[in-house]
Amino acid sequence: MIAEELRTRIPARNVLPGNSAHYLADETEGRGLRGHADAVVLPESADEVAAVVAWCYEQGVPVVPRGGGTGYAAGAVPLDGGVVVALERLARVRSFDPPFWRMEAEAGVTTANVRRIAREGGLQFAPDPGASEQSQIGGNVATNAGGPHAYKYGVTGAWVTGVEAVVAPGELVRVGGPLRKDVASYDLTSLFVASEGTLGVITSVWLQLTPAPEAAWPVVGFFDGVGAGCAAIERLVGSGLPVAAIEYLDGETMRYAGAGFPTEIPAGAFCVITEADGSHDEAAHVRADALELLGEDAIALFAPERPAEIAALWRWRDGVALRVDAQRGGKASEDIAVPLDRIAEGIEESLAIGRRLGLDACSWGHAGDGNLHSTYLFSREDPDAVARATKVSEELFSLALRLGGTISGEHGVGAVKTRWLAQQLGPKASELHAAIKQAFDPKNLLNPGKKTAFPS
Ligand SMILES: Cc1cc2nc3c(=O)[nH]c(=O)nc-3n(C[C@H](O)[C@H](O)[C@H](O)COP(=O)(O)OP(=O)(O)OC[C@H]3O[C@@H](n4cnc5c(N)ncnc54)[C@H](O)[C@@H]3O)c2cc1C
């Protein structure tokens, strides 16, 4: 019925039945989260998105925006039905101006394509979240995605200068644009960043690019345990050396995911990956200093220079999550972030949660940003382990808040962390947060139940 109505408003070829399985789940499917929809639409233009939202808003039908479906928070999963608006056909680069370091890309352009096109113009789109061939720039903006190089270059929001979006009750708005400065209004552009589909459907974004570095050379150190590894990370940060990334992988992660690492890994060692980039001379200087800093107490160092080896290293890093996932079939994992001076504590205590719950645990993440992907493995065939794993998130979130951190450094709140957001924000900030939602979406139809509580 809803699909039939929508077929009268946008081309029928762009409306799929609600049971189109591909559009009903994201990376949380392993946690049992799968939705059901009344229809799935694949608009080919921003005007079609506006027509769909206008009809849904009038009829009281929820709208669930969907990018590449790589989210870890069930943000794109239609848990309470409604219309999934999948942006994959809005995939044009509307403009690319290398001399001005900028691009306007429609929401459905994949992250990898944004990066590829920028590179072909001698530029770089700095954010590099791990699932870049599937995730879309609209999804990256909606989650404010990060990645290893966020340490030097910042997360997606740092590179967004404007947003075009369909807002309630079905109108297209543009905030910001191809501008480097704009302080005229409240920062409406930033409100769409990390909004997780709850304030509007992003249809296009203006991106600031940066010249691609001439050279980018990783430097890897292996250390005897969490303490030594974190001391090296603190040395790196404290030195002010402008490395592009500081990643960590603990000994257990290396044991689970080490296959394919482009050099021999000392058994049980804690791994720190950093990268020197810039002009050839700058990168050479930073690389030498990074080798010296990590080398102070590293068990082993690895500093590949051949492009094939460097590509293999980052390809390996991108695949770590999937290799760990494959170990037992079941995993519980979150993306808390803590202040930089609490990283060692954050890692040690998150591993202790595993010991307490009787689950094998490992931890890796973006150390330079204090962002921990601590992960707990279990077999889905073991109901007792499954029951224990349900306690993981609770324990990790209270750890994050106790250390002065956040319940999400990357993946967002989605459907899975809403209760905890209120706890992180406290009553007054929660009230302001909910008031923003109400101002944008008075009927609570834009991705309802995700991210924020609607004021009662
Ligand atoms: C292997 C792997 C590695 C990953 N590595 C990283 C990483 O390094 N850093 C990181 O931050 N994340 C990472 N992620 C998580 C995920 O890729 C990011 O959150 C990504 O930004 C989600 O983009 P998406 O297009 O897949 O969005 P989806 O999963 O489709 O949606 C995510 C949220 O954004 C909303 N949304 C999507 N598109 C729009 C739109 N056009 N308008 C309004 N709202 C929209 C959805 O409603 C939902 O709430 C990883 C995921 C995987 C599977």
Ligand 1 atom at shortest distance from the alpha carbon of 148? 8
Question: What are the pocket residues of ligand 1 if the criterion is a CB atom closer than 6 Å to any ligand atom?
Answer: 26-27, 65-72, 75-76, 87, 107, 129-131, 135-136, 138-140, 142-143, 145-147, 196-197, 201-202, 321-322, 410-411, 414, 447, 450
What is the rounded distance in angstroms from the CA atom of residue 396 to the CA atom of residue 407?
8
Distance (angstroms) between ligand 1 centre and the Cα of 412 equals 9
Cis peptide before 169 (omega within 30 of 0): yes
CB 297 within 8 A of CB 211: no
Distance (angstroms) between ligand 1 centre and the Cα of 263 equals 31
Distance (angstroms) between ligand 1 centre and the Cα of 188 equals 21
Ligand 1 atom at shortest distance from the alpha carbon of 26? 29
SS3 330: strand
pLDDT on residue 380: 86
What is the rounded distance in angstroms from the CA atom of residue 13 to the CA atom of residue 26?
24
pLDDT in tens, 316-370: 998 999 899 889 888 899 999 999 999 999 999 999 999 999 999 999 999 999 9
Q: Which residue matches tokens 């603990």?
A: 250
pTM: 0.95
Distance (angstroms) between ligand 1 centre and the Cα of 66 equals 9
> pLDDT grade, residue 454 (50/70/90)?
confident
pLDDT on residue 329: 85
Ligand 1 atom at shortest distance from the alpha carbon of 412? 19
SS3 86: strand
13-40: average pLDDT: 94
pLDDT on residue 122: 95
Least confident of 30-34, 121-125, 207-211: 30-34
Least confident of 79-93, 195-209, 230-244, 382-396: 382-396
Check whether 130 has a pLDDT greater than 70: yes
Check whether 456 has a pLDDT greater than 70: no
What is the rounded distance in angstroms from the CA atom of residue 300 to the CA atom of residue 317?
18
Q: Which residue matches tokens 């928070």?
A: 73
Distance (angstroms) between ligand 1 centre and the Cα of 309 equals 28
pLDDT in tens, 246-293: 999 999 999 999 999 999 999 999 999 999 999 999 999 999 999 999
| DSSP character string of 89-134 | T---EEEEEGGGTEEEEETTSBHHHHHHHHHHTTEE-----TTTTT
293-301: average pLDDT: 96
pLDDT on residue 455: 67
Ligand 1 atom at shortest distance from the alpha carbon of 410? 11
Provide, rounded to the nearest whole percent, the portion of the chain with pLDDT above 90. Answer: 92
Q: Whose CA is nearest to atom 19 of ligand 1?
A: 71
With the most atoms of ligand 1 within 8 angstroms of its CB, the residue from 115, 143, 314, 336 to mutate is 143
Check whether 419 has a pLDDT greater than 70: yes
What is the rounded distance in angstroms from the CA atom of residue 94 to the CA atom of residue 112?
16
311-318: average pLDDT: 93
CB 161 within 8 A of CB 436: no
Q: Whose CA is nearest to atom 21 of ligand 1?
A: 140
Residues 6+ apart with CB under 8 A from 235: 293, 294, 296
Helix axes 343-357, 392-402, angle to 10 degrees: 150
Average pLDDT, the chain: 95
Beta pairing class for 83-86 and 93-97: unpaired
